[in-house]
Amino acid sequence: MNGELRRILLEAAVILALGVVVGLSFNYRLVLDVFGGRLTAPAPVTADATVDLYPVPVDLQRLQTLLGQGALLIDARAVELYAEGHLQGARSLPMGDWVNQLADFRAAVPLQTTLILYCSGYGCPDSFDLGVELLKNGYQDVQVFEGGFPEWRDAGLPVDKGAP
């Protein structure tokens, strides 16, 4: 019986390992991107819309480094929330209205700019979804600060008020 139990546990471990290997082989690029804090493949400048690009997540520490290097903060929340308080230096580009504002945005922000998007913190998908759209529209370095406004504010970092 002991041998039987050992066999079951061993096979369970094999199933687990197999799942990990399969999962990683399908998603190794995403995992590498995240752990490297960057996009691995240099974003191909191509009109191939079938290539799925995803914004890279950054934490607060990395965000501050990138801001020191000239990255631009993008607030993906509604304009009302932006007016109530936003990360200092952030530009508003609401997820709900990006289609209408994209032309102006592109005119003002060069495609090579490192963009860091945020919204209302974990559980808020807008910054990520907007990041996907900006990547599709030619921006090459798009990252997402998932802690968003709450994490920034709670860390005591400077917050600005006022409409865009």
Partner 1 sequence: MKRLETVLYHFSRLLLGGLFLYAGLIKGNDVTAFARSVANYQLLPYSWNYLVAATLPAVEAIAGLLLVVNCRVRPAAVVLGALNLVFMVALVSVILRGLDIDCGCFNPDATSKTSPQLALLRDAGIMLLVVLSYWLRGRRPA
Regarding 128 and contact with partner 1 (CB under 8 A), the answer is: yes
How many helices (H) and strands (E) would you count in the chain? Answer: 6, 7
Shortest spacing between CB 142 and partner 1, in angstroms: 13
Say how many C-beta atoms besides its own lie within 10 A of residue 42's C-beta. 7
Binding mask 20-59 for partner 1 (x = CB under 8 A): x-xxx-xxx-xx--xx------------------x--x-x
- Contacts for 22 with CB less than 8 Å, ≥ 6 apart: none
Sign of CA dihedral 35, 98, 110, 148: negative
Binding mask 85-114 for partner 1 (x = CB under 8 A): ------------------------------
CA 35 to CA 49: how far, in whole Å? 26
Regarding 146 and contact with partner 1 (CB under 8 A), the answer is: yes
Shortest spacing between CB 63 and partner 1, in angstroms: 12
What would you report as the CA-atom Rg of the chain, rounded to the nearest whole angstrom?
Answer: 20
Shortest spacing between CB 152 and partner 1, in angstroms: 15
> Is the separation of the CB atoms in 119 and 79 below 8 Å?
no
Shortest spacing between CB 60 and partner 1, in angstroms: 10
Which residues contact partner 1 by CB under 8 A? 8-12, 14-16, 18-20, 22-24, 26-28, 30-31, 34-35, 54, 57, 59, 122-123, 125, 128, 146
